[in-house]
Chains A and B, each alone.
Chain A
Amino acid sequence: MIRLSKSYWLTNVRLENGFTYQENETINGTATQIYNVKVENGKIASIILKNEPITDGIPQHDVNGLLMIPSFKEMHIHIDKTYYGGPWKACMPAYNGVRTRIEEEQILLPQLLPTAKERAEKMLDLLLSYGSTHVRTHCNVDPVIGLKNLEATIEALEGYKDKLSYEIVAFPQHGLLRSNSVGLIKEAMRNGANFVGGVDPATIDENIERSLETIMDIAVESNAGIDVHLHDPDHLGLFTMQRLAALTEEAGWQGRVTVSHASGLADLSVVEATSIAERFAELGISITSTVPIFRTIPIPLLHEKGVKVELGNDSLTDHWSPFGMGDNLEKVGRLAERFRMIEEKSLANSLQFITGGKTPLNNKGEKVWPQIGDEANIVLVEASCSAEAVARRAKRAAVIFRGNIVSGSISTLETTNI
């Protein structure tokens, strides 16, 4: 990490100013201008046009016209469970679906434990290098590994606390009820986990109502948010989501619940998907997707109805999947490609799916980011605008978290390394 002085100027920063239009009012590009941006105590303190004089004597770092965009959020990953950083290993065929994978974990988790922290760190380095400065990680809490993965995860993340912010979901991978993990999850919540996790109350726990109620009880007891893995298909998934929504409302847990994957949404009619989307929007239940190629959920529809949708890599090579690059810009590029967002505005807007909702321009093309007082969580990219950054998977030159360079470098910035 390159710790910069408490206040400094980034000079020659490219910021987006608005869209450009052709005669018939179709948007055909993005207008940008070069600014000088002052960072103070980890926050954006001043934004002035390049030709306005800088009168103070604080250090200046020239970024040579690189585009500044908000840094990314990796909202669904398992940093405790990866082969990344170790030797290559393909997956074995899963003859019994998810259950095969859970069986594999009986042997695999203890095997991986000694290198868990090291592998998690390598993964965090990779995520940072691509521009993510926030990570929500699910962490196995199960009878096989107990709280040991949680300990390794916390240890790894604590070492990165100046480079990124994080949330930890206590994840009963082997089934909250199925593997009698209620006590363990509660213990995890007392020992550093911030979210109560869950997985397929029907298929894994075989008791939808009791599984969901237990999740909610633990969340209320620990005053924590919820993030449930729901792979269950079609109406089974929909039903589970409807029940989760009802329990969320009952408990007054609005704005504190996330459904990960929500795969069932991929199988529903527009009418059915719309009704659950409206319900989720009303209750502030968000959805996290990995944008699977094969069964993609209707993300534009969810977004349009007001559901907060965020993206994650899930895994980067583990016993579930050998794929995954850890690049959230690639991830949102896939989302855009999948849903045919090919023109300037939809490409530019798509960035919000990986920034916690932030985009430099709002829907009307007005400049809304960065604002004075915003945390200086920034990616400097080699692109002329956000739309290009998404479509062309722009190179990331430097990543800044709370004012410090946490990945990459800019030649002039290196000189102030302390």
Chain B
Amino acid sequence: MEQSYWLLNVTLDDGFIFEDGKIIGTKTELYNLYINNGVIDTIQLAEIPIDSTKTSVHDAGNLLALPAFKEMHNHLDKTYLGLPWKSCIPAANLIERLNLEAKELAELASTGQHRAEQMLQLLLKGGATHVRTHVNIDPYIGLKNLEEIQKALETFEGKMTHEIVAFPQHGLLRTNSSSLMRQAMNEGATIVGGLDPGGVDLNIEASLHEMMDIAVEFNADIDIHIHDPGHLGFYTIQKLTSLIEDARWNNRVSLSHAFALGDVPIEKSREMASILANLGVSVMSTVPINRVMPPVDLLHDYGVHVALGCDGFYDSWSPYGTGDMLEKVGRLAERYKWIDEYSLSQSLQFITGGVKTLDKDGKRLWPNVGDEASMVLVEASCSAEAVARRVNRNAVISHGRLAYGGLVVESALK
């Protein structure tokens, strides 16, 4: 696709329809967008004539444009995608599961790039143009998975942007992985990961300090898996927030899973939500249905940035998962009974890095001139429908480039 082109006949959410002060629907309009060097340069109503003599023209055929999706929690290195079917082996607890994984890591290592590419293709097809992946850094696999994942991500260069979390899956302290983690940070990982300082490392304070030290040393953000439940997880989060304050690591830390936030009494969830919001700590959720999840609605109300991910899927941990972020946010909406037009339309922000198409008065928030031209073209009448009905995706555009699907080229116009 060319550097600059007109994208014609794009449907955009353009306002809400109100009746007796209540939102009953979404108003849309047909627009033409001029894309220049990966950026949206012009947005004008489709009825206004364009000068198509100097540039090429593509026709979106009235499809609705949504901001491109972000997959914010994945494990590209773990999936079985691309291999023959394999279900999970039963494990009585987390440590047993880790032992099973350790045995399998070497076996899977050589197909890392191939499997990760299958996953990336699936994510892209669903509309994600950004992926944050955790990659195992542990004594069993060393940096091998990191290398494989980097190769896979390179294949998708220009189609998907990425962040790589160095993830001490077998325990930062438990498996003495600090020096490996530092190596990973030198070798291209961009974020310092962590895992259950209580349940896995058996020393909450030391584990958190070590993680924070590495982050400060590499001037890197943090994304820590906290599965530890109830007040154990809550205490861990509390400890972490005080370290964040000490290190002034505001706006640089994510909590993945953070089940504990949903386990404790609601007053405590509220208290923590306001601390997290003040420190700019974000929460990544995979919207689990087999346990209590963090209260996404409450966290969001308090101003905590919440983003969704598919997690590692179809791997030794879980056989499910489709890699479809729109399905993921649909599940979130279903979980919180966001069934009306307004709630559905707003829910999109959990998979777009906070971008939504309309504010509460129906003022258009996206797209704007100057925005990155990353969008998904879908068969829907509005974004609320897109979320609820998990609509077909016809094309995914990443920084102006067609990354998946197809558009109609209107050469006749030239």
A interface residues, Cβ below 8 angstroms from B: 26, 28-29, 87-93, 293-294, 296, 317, 321-323, 325, 333-334, 336-340, 342-344, 347, 383-385, 387-388, 391-393
Whether B86 and A29, one on each chain, are in contact in the complex, defined by CB atoms closer than 8 angstroms, is yes
Report, as a range, how many residues of chain B touch the other chain.
Answer: 35 or more
- With A91-B339, A92-B24 as contacts: A343 and B89 at CB distance below 8 Å: yes
Q: Can you show 27 pairs from A to B with CB atoms below 8 A apart?
A: A28-B87, A28-B89, A87-B381, A88-B380, A88-B381, A88-B389, A90-B25, A90-B340, A90-B344, A92-B22, A93-B22, A293-B335, A317-B389, A322-B339, A323-B330, A323-B388, A342-B318, A344-B87, A347-B319, A383-B85, A387-B85, A388-B85, A388-B87, A391-B314, A392-B314, A392-B319, A393-B322
Contact of A342 among B88, B340, B388 (CB under 8 A): B88
Q: How many A-B residue pairs have CB under 8 A?
A: 95
Q: Mostly helix, strand, loop or mixed at chain A's interface?
A: loop
Residue of B nearest to A388 (CB): B85
- Chain B residues with Cβ below 8 Å from A317 are 388-389
Contact of A387 among B87, B90, B322, B380 (CB under 8 A): B87
- Chain B residues with Cβ below 8 Å from A28 are 87, 89
Task: Check: B101 CB closer than 8 A to any chain A CB.
Answer: no
- Chain B residues with Cβ below 8 Å from A325 are 390
- With A338-B289, A343-B90, A392-B319 as contacts: A322 and B314 at CB distance below 8 Å: no
Q: Apart from A347-B87, A391-B319, what 10 extra A-B contacts exist at CB < 8 Å?
A: A88-B389, A90-B344, A317-B388, A322-B339, A322-B344, A322-B389, A323-B330, A337-B320, A342-B318, A342-B319
Say how far A123's CB is from chain B's closest CB, in angstroms.
13
- Chain B residues with Cβ below 8 Å from A347 are 87, 319
Q: How far is the CA of A98 from the CA of B236 in the complex (A)?
A: 42
Contact of B87 among A89, A92, A342 (CB under 8 A): A342
Give the contacts of B316-332 with A (CB-CB under 8 A). Answer: 317-320, 322, 330-331
Task: Check: B385 CB closer than 8 A to any chain A CB.
Answer: yes
Q: How far is the CA of A384 from the CA of B388 in the complex (A)?
A: 31
Say how far A69's CB is from chain B's closest CB, in angstroms.
14
Say how far A177's CB is from chain B's closest CB, in angstroms.
28
Q: How far is the CA of A344 from the CA of B88 in the complex (A)?
A: 7
Whether B384 and A293, one on each chain, are in contact in the complex, defined by CB atoms closer than 8 angstroms, is no
Contact of A391 among B87, B89, B90, B317 (CB under 8 A): B87
- With A322-B344, A333-B320, A334-B289 as contacts: A29 and B390 at CB distance below 8 Å: no
Q: How far is the CA of A318 from the CA of B390 in the complex (A)?
A: 15
Residue of B nearest to A323 (CB): B334
Q: How far is the CA of A67 from the CA of B299 in the complex (A)?
A: 45
- With A293-B331, A321-B339 as contacts: A343 and B289 at CB distance below 8 Å: no
- With A29-B87, A87-B381 as contacts: A391 and B320 at CB distance below 8 Å: yes
Give the contacts of B372-392 with A (CB-CB under 8 A). Answer: 380-382, 384-385, 388-390
Task: Check: B21 CB closer than 8 A to any chain A CB.
Answer: no
Q: How far is the CA of A322 from the CA of B380 in the complex (A)?
A: 14
Among A26, A91, A293, A340, chain B packs the most CB atoms within 10 A around the CB of: A293
Q: How far is the CA of A296 from the CA of B288 in the complex (A)?
A: 13
Among B314, B333, B334, chain A packs the most CB atoms within 10 A around the CB of: B334
Residue of B nearest to A89 (CB): B25
- Chain A residues with Cβ below 8 Å from B13 are none
Task: Check: B84 CB closer than 8 A to any chain A CB.
Answer: yes
Contact of A92 among B289, B319, B340, B389 (CB under 8 A): B340
Q: How far is the CA of A91 from the CA of B340 in the complex (A)?
A: 5
- Chain A residues with Cβ below 8 Å from B317 are 342
Task: Check: B71 CB closer than 8 A to any chain A CB.
Answer: no
Whether B337 and A294, one on each chain, are in contact in the complex, defined by CB atoms closer than 8 angstroms, is yes
Say how far A280's CB is from chain B's closest CB, in angstroms.
24
Residue of A nearest to B341 (CB): A90
Say how far A353's CB is from chain B's closest CB, in angstroms.
16
Task: Check: B186 CB closer than 8 A to any chain A CB.
Answer: no
- Chain A residues with Cβ below 8 Å from B333 are 323
Among B289, B314, B340, chain A packs the most CB atoms within 10 A around the CB of: B289
- Chain A residues with Cβ below 8 Å from B335 are 293-294
Give the contacts of B349-395 with A (CB-CB under 8 A). Answer: 380-382, 384-385, 388-390
- Chain B residues with Cβ below 8 Å from A321 are 334, 339
Whether B388 and A322, one on each chain, are in contact in the complex, defined by CB atoms closer than 8 angstroms, is yes
Task: Check: B290 CB closer than 8 A to any chain A CB.
Answer: yes
- Chain B residues with Cβ below 8 Å from A342 are 87-88, 90, 317-319
Q: How far is the CA of A388 from the CA of B333 in the complex (A)?
A: 27
Q: How far is the CA of A294 from the CA of B388 in the complex (A)?
A: 17
Say how far B285's CB is from chain A's closest CB, in angstroms.
13
Q: How far is the CA of A88 from the CA of B390 in the complex (A)?
A: 12
- With A317-B389, A337-B290 as contacts: A90 and B87 at CB distance below 8 Å: no
- Chain B residues with Cβ below 8 Å from A89 are 25
